[in-house]
């Protein structure tokens, strides 16, 4: 039983978000909310396209606006049809307020948010993670599933564990929220950056935790720098893996100097990421 | 299956707390782990310590303290009582002795646990304390998983009461509660809102409603007028067989100096179980 929010850009409908969201919301009692983000500063045309010899032409503006409205209506229709075909209980929200603020309010009252990694809410192309995504990930109140632009079925779960509270929190949330298929392999990945091994007590506790929550999981420990180690390990995977990580808890200021692991993964990999943080 | 911790004082055992913990564990088919807390004054073996910059060897060890043997015996007996209580009810169990600074030991354990059950009167101070004791307050602020304050009466739960001020902290509390105890989904859930004066309904009522519809079959709204702290307290005291779900203690410690937190006032004379999630 879950309430899942799928966030869409009405002008660039992401089929992949739709596919992943409906994969998660297929249980009968689940509810899927399609949030179509609109921001009055955001449209598909550029302002200088409106300008001709006499200044801004009202006819041109009207025709462009009508075109945008039609694209948005079509996106909503696509969502509704897909939900009906898959027999998913759904509702639709079109918000004309500032996009990010509305979406953050939604995350307070939902269990999981699904969004495309390339969502920018601008017509400029930005490399992932866009400024919009960074703001969203640092302020979200529910776990977020960041999906690649192309849908592939999930064949493996990889849980990143760095010994810190946020990573364990993310793993707990993943366990509570994700209806997993039984036969999918689960791997817990830990990277030892320095020579210091995991605290003996922590090791016992995480093993006990895994035994109760993920009895069939595998525990992999790598040595070396965390970021490159994780990326090369993830690139080696033959299966399409879903990566679980806690992120973005560090203060904004420290993020200017060092990127969060989630940023690095978004830049380098094309895998769905389950991101949760507890503050 | 989740992992439930119960914090117990190894000198005096509270059978009501154990009964309640067993009830919760049986309900959710969970593993119950008893953490027996002991304040360590002296190490088991001579150790090197530093005082005023000078190293010295502390040769007084735990076994030199009069009454140490008797204390060890009581502890073993208490662990035995706990194990018997669990085994008789068919609950998978484990127990650990944590002999360090009690609050620090328990916080480490909570990172890898789903919920912690504690009695509001647990204290490691030599002076008599009002409940909640300093130890319990510290746990409430530092715990990395939700905490349940065990009731003094029998733990029959027929109704869930959720004092809600439409803050993210309140929403997080009810979300965590529903993830951990989906078994209560068919019980009555009362959303209790207290306002100082008549205002328009919150903009998020619809969103909360949508979330509740997925997780609870029978949710009702109660709206009261008055001072939130007093009204919630009075409302809870009037009812039997309830569990209260609260998300306080999220406020920074500074603001709490000026405004006593709900949860603190409620635990003072609480004879009903109280679920507190503070992030």
pLDDT tens profile B174-215: 999 999 998 898 899 999 888 877 777 777 888 888 899 889
B207 and A212 in contact by Cβ < 8 A?
A: no
A1 and B182 in contact by Cβ < 8 A?
A: yes
Question: How many angstroms separate the CA of residue B236 from the nearest CA in chain A?
Answer: 24
The minimal CB distance from B211 to the residues A109, A165, A206 is found for A109
A105 and B204 in contact by Cβ < 8 A?
A: yes
The minimal CB distance from B215 to the residues A1, A169, A206 is found for A1
The pLDDT tens digits of the residues spanning B260-271 come to 556 665 555 556
SS3 B241: coil
The pLDDT tens digits of the residues spanning A150-207 come to 888 888 999 988 877 888 889 999 998 887 777 888 999 888 777 666 667 788 888 8
Higher pLDDT, A59 or B131: A59
DSSP code string of B126-145: SS--PSSPHHHHHHHHH-SS
A205 and B111 in contact by Cβ < 8 A?
A: yes
With contacts defined as CB-CB under 8 Å, which chain A residues touch B210?
A: 3, 31, 33, 91, 109
Rounded Cα distance, B208 and A3, in Å: 10
Question: How many angstroms separate the CA of residue B179 from the nearest CA in chain A?
Answer: 6
The minimal CB distance from B210 to the residues A31, A205, A278 is found for A31
Q: Please tell me if residue A206 touches chain B, with a CB cutoff of 8 Å.
A: yes
Phi, psi of A38 (to 5 degrees): -130, 145
Nearest CA in chain B to A91: B210
> Of the candidates A149, A127, A130, A159, which has an alpha carbon nearest to the alpha carbon of residue A234?
A159
The minimal CB distance from B279 to the residues A177, A213, A278 is found for A278
Torsion region of B219: left, alpha or beta (phi above 0 gives left; psi -120 to 50 gives alpha): beta
Q: Please tell me if residue B207 touches chain A, with a CB cutoff of 8 Å.
A: yes
Where is average pLDDT lowest: A86-90, B18-22, B113-117, B130-134? B130-134
The pLDDT tens digits of the residues spanning B51-63 come to 888 888 888 777 7
Q: Please tell me if residue A219 touches chain B, with a CB cutoff of 8 Å.
A: no
pLDDT value, residue B253: 36
pLDDT band at B37 (very low <50, low <70, confident <90, very high): confident
A156 membership: H or E segment, kind and range: strand A156-160
Rounded Cα distance, B191 and B175, in Å: 13
B180 and A1 in contact by Cβ < 8 A?
A: no
Question: How many angstroms separate the CA of residue A177 from the nearest CA in chain B?
Answer: 8
- Its pTM stands at 0.86
**Cis peptide, bond prior to residue A39, ω within 30 of zero:** no
pLDDT band at B250 (very low <50, low <70, confident <90, very high): very low
pLDDT less than 70: residues of chain A = 27-28, 40-41, 95-98, 123, 128, 195-199, 248-259, 279
Question: How many angstroms separate the CA of residue A178 from the nearest CA in chain B?
Answer: 11
């Amino acid at each position: 039983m879950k309430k899942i929010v799928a966030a869409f850009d009405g002008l660039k409908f992401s089929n992949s978000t739709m596919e992943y969201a409906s994969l998660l919301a297929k249980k009968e009692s689940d509810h899927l909310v399609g949030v179509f983000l609109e921001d009055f500063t955001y449209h598909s045309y550029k302002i200088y396209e409106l300008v001709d010899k006499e200044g801004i032409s009202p006819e041109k503006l009207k025709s462009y606006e009508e075109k945008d409205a039609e694209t948005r209506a079509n996106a909503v229709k696509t969502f509704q049809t897909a939900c009906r075909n898959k027999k998913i209980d759904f509702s639709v929200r079109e918000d004309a307020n500032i996009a990010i603020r509305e979406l953050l309010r939604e995350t307070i009252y939902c269990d999981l948010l699904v969004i495309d990694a390339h969502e920018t809410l601008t017509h400029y192309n930005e490399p992932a993670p866009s400024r919009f995504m960074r703001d969203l990930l640092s302020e979200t109140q529910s776990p977020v599933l960041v999906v690649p632009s192309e849908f592939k079925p999930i064949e493996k779960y990889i849980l990143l564990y760095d010994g810190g509270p946020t990573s364990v929190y993310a793993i707990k949330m993943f366990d509570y929220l994700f209806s997993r298929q039984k036969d999918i392999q689960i791997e817990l990945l830990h990277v030892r950056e320095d020579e210091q091994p995991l605290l003996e007590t922590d090791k016992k506790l995480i093993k006990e935790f895994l035994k109760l929550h993920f009895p069939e999981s595998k525990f992999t420990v790598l040595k070396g720098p965390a970021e490159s180690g994780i990326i090369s390990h993830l690139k080696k995977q033959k299966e399409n893996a879903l990566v679980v990580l806690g992120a973005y808890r560090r203060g904004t200021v420290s993020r200017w100097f060092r990127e969060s692991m989630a940023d690095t993964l978004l830049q380098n990999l094309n895998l769905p990421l389950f991101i949760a943080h507890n503050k | 299956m989740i992992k439930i911790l119960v914090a117990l004082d190894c000198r005096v055992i509270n059978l009501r707390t154990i009964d309640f913990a067993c009830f919760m564990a049986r309900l959710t088919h969970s593993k119950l782990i008893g953490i027996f807390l002991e304040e360590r004054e002296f190490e088991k073996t001579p150790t090197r310590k530093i005082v005023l910059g000078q190293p010295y060897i502390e040769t007084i060890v735990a076994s030199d303290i009069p009454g140490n043997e008797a204390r060890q015996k009581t502890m073993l007996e208490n662990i035995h009582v706990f194990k018997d209580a669990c085994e008789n009810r068919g609950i998978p169990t484990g127990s650990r002795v944590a002999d360090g600074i009690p609050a620090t030991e328990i916080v480490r354990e909570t990172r890898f646990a789903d919920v912690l059950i504690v009695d509001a009167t647990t204290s490691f101070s030599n002076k008599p304390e009002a409940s909640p004791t300093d130890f319990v307050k510290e746990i409430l602020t530092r715990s990395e998983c939700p905490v349940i304050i065990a009731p003094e009466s029998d733990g029959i739960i027929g109704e869930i009461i959720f004092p809600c001020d439409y803050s993210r902290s309140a929403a997080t509390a009810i979300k965590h509660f529903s993830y951990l105890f989906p078994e209560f989904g068919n019980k009555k859930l009362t959303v209790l809102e207290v306002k100082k004066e008549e205002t328009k309904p919150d903009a998020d009522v619809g969103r909360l409603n949508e979330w509740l519809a997925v997780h609870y079959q029978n949710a009702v709204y109660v709206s009261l007028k008055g001072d939130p702290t007093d009204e919630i307290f009075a409302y809870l005291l009037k009812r039997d067989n309830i569990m209260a779900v609260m998300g306080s203690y999220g406020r920074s410690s500074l603001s709490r100096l000026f405004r006593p937190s709900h949860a603190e006032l409620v635990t003072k004379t609480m004879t009903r179980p109280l679920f507190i999630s503070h992030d």
